Amino acid sequence: MDSSPDASIFVSLTEEDDMVTPQQIRLVKGSWRRLQGIQPETIAGLFYARLFASHPALRKMFPVDMEAQYRKLMDMLHTIVMRLDHLDQLTAEIAAMAARHEGYGVKPVHYLYVGDALLWTLEKGLGKDWTEEVALAWQESYATLTASMLEEA
């Protein structure tokens, strides 16, 4: 298994004028709604299984019992997706999240690993609904959030 992240996830981090388009926001929100029929623990479990399989050293950054962590991940994703078109309203939450992650020892490269695991999880969860257009929408959205977090950290 290749453990190197797909650098294309962060193409937009280097393009200052690149933003998530309204169509991409609709695609992210629509695909997120399709995932709501899947148990949150299943989605979060897949995500963390992929993350830890690809990058075992990251496991020590998380609690032994992951149940609460699963809920945190899903709640955070839901909040961000639902407010993606108004991320400016989440500035304080994004800054706090960035500070918490920095306190946990998160390094910029870890965002690549998380992005890779997230996109893989979404692809598995969405199946045939995971199109190039949906993938790009999620990539751009994640890159925008990551750029905000790295700026705040």
Q: Is residue 122 part of a domain?
A: yes
Q: Is residue 37 part of a domain?
A: yes
Q: How many residues appear in the chain?
A: 153
For residue 97, give the CATH number of its domain.
Answer: 1.10.490.10
- Based on the structure, what is the number of domains in the chain? 1
Chain center to CA of 12: 15
What angle, 0 to 180 degrees and rounded to 10, lies between the N-to-C axes of helices 91-103 and 132-152? 70
* DSSP letter, residue 19: -
The domain containing residue 66 runs over which residues? 21-152
pTM: 0.85
Q: Is residue 10 part of a domain?
A: no
So what's the pLDDT on residue 71? 95
Cα separations in angstroms, 51 against 54, 61, 86: 5, 12, 28
Q: Is residue 9 part of a domain?
A: no
Distance CA 101, CA 150 (A): 10
pLDDT digits (tens, 9 = 90+) for 6-37: 444 444 443 444 689 999 999 999 999 999 98
Distance CA 127, CA 80 (A): 22
